[in-house]
Amino acid sequence: MTKPKQAQSHTSKVLDALVNEITPREQARTDNRMLLAIKIDDARKAKGWTQQVFAKEMGQQPSVISKWLSGTHNFTADTMWDIEEKLGVELISLKEREWKVTRVVEYKITVQSPGLFTTEYVSPYTSLSDVEENTIETKPYKYG
Amino acid sequence: MNFRIVKLEKFSGSEASIYSVILEEDEPEQKTLFEYFVAENITNHREEVRDIASRLITIGTKTGARDIFFKDHEGRHGDGVCALFDNPDKNLRLYCIRFGKGILVIGGGGHKPKSMKAFQESKKLTKENDYMRIVSTEIENRIREKEITYSPDGTELLGEFKFYDHD
């Protein structure tokens, strides 16, 4: 039995030039929009909702939902949060956006013993970011 | 109408194979309907053509030809012809035929202003739509007669791709 043949491959300068015009960044953006549309549509199906029901739940016209799912839509954050709430799917992860908070704390310890001497200890740390977590330890201080 | 189906490697990938059509009259130039579409629109609608090409790459390599990316019933009911979704602010229409998620045949199309209610108002769009309806019918016939089959993973057509009535 002969193996069924594949269609002939076709390439051309016109198509090569067209594809070469698309930057990796543009392609990644298209990929993300279309993958996001699939994620939303899969969540809609998991809910057992038709597109009409989804439109009603979102307070939108069915034509708006078609556009959302077309892979061409540039969603606002508010719309994505609304969709997350209705479909119970995570579209924006804020966990990935933890920003580093640097607080400058000056440690100043004054030990006084009236009548004998006065000394002052100033921490070498000027910021919590200077030290790694759990590395601050109390060192015995020898009175001078 | 005599034609053959060819696979566009630039757009095809692990998720879908993307094919187009070479009419017999275009054999000397070896130009597909999609290449005519590009040539006819690249000057006046460059961004839209680039966007369409980018979406075809995503379909071939990342997502497959999911139904949500297309507008169905772009020809007569049940003829299998659809169109790649066009944004409300865009004007180009590209006619396609889907065979599941893994196979997409793209043809030509053209400019369809939003003021135009039906493609039949444009001679150009009607002609391009007619081509794809014929292609759809012919492929369906060959699938029915098992002269064309699907690959096991559904991302490839296998068989005889020349549709010449004089052969």
Tell me chain B's radius of gyration from C-alpha atoms. 15
By C-alpha distance, the chain B residue nearest A35 is B63
CB B95 within 8 A of CB B132: yes
* Dihedral (CA of B104, B109, B113, B119) sign: negative
Q: Is the pLDDT of residue B68 over 60?
A: yes
Instruction: Say what the ipTM of the complex is.
Output: 0.92
CA distance B73 to B78: 7
The residue assigned the tokens 């006065």 is A118
Per-residue pLDDT tens for A19-61? 999 999 999 999 999 999 999 999 999 999 999 999 999 999 9
Confidence band (pLDDT; 50, 70, 90) for A98? low
Per-residue pLDDT tens for A120-129? 556 655 655 5
**pLDDT (0 to 100) of residue A99:** 56
Per-residue pLDDT tens for A1-17? 567 799 999 999 999 99
Higher-confidence residue: A65 or A136? Answer: A65
For A76-92, what is the mean pLDDT?
94
Confidence band (pLDDT; 50, 70, 90) for B121? confident
Please state the length of chain A.
Answer: 144
With an 8 Å Cβ cutoff, the interface of chain B facing chain A consists of 4-11, 17, 19-20, 22, 30-32, 34-35, 38-39, 42, 49-51, 53-55, 57-59, 62-63, 66, 68-69, 71, 85, 87-88, 149, 156-161
Burial (CB count <10 Å: 0-12, 13-18, 19+), residue B9: middle
CB B57 to CB A69 under 8 A?
A: no
How distant is the Cα of A95 from the closest Cα of chain B, in angstroms?
26
Per-residue pLDDT tens for B1-31? 999 999 999 999 999 999 999 999 988 889 9
**pLDDT (0 to 100) of residue A136:** 47
Residue A119: helix, strand or coil by DSSP? strand
Confidence band (pLDDT; 50, 70, 90) for B118? confident
Higher-confidence residue: A132 or B155? Answer: B155
Which tokens hold the place of B164? Answer: 């010449």
**pLDDT (0 to 100) of residue A100:** 58
**pLDDT (0 to 100) of residue B78:** 62
**pLDDT (0 to 100) of residue A144:** 44
The CA–CA distances, whole Å, from B58 to A10, A36, A102, B22, B95 equal 19, 12, 41, 23, 17
Higher-confidence residue: A136 or A55? Answer: A55
Give the count of beta carbons closer than 10 Å to the beta carbon of residue B166. 5
**pLDDT (0 to 100) of residue B75:** 62
**pLDDT (0 to 100) of residue A123:** 60
**pLDDT (0 to 100) of residue A129:** 58
Find all residues with CB under 8 Å of B9, minimum gap 6, and list them: A9, A10, A11
Q: Average per-residue pLDDT in chain A?
A: 81
Find all residues with CB under 8 Å of A40, minimum gap 6, and list them: A68, A69, A83, A87, A89, A91
Among A5, A11, A15, the strongest candidate for a mutation testing the B interface, having the largest count of B CBs within 10 A, is: A15
Nearest to A35 among B63, B85, B159 (CB): B63
For B40-50, what is the mean pLDDT?
95
Chain A CB contacts of B34 below 8 Å: 15
CA distance B7 to B18: 6
The residue assigned the tokens 């002052």 is A120
Which tokens hold the place of B88? Answer: 């409300």
Chain A CB contacts of B87 below 8 Å: 67, 70, 72
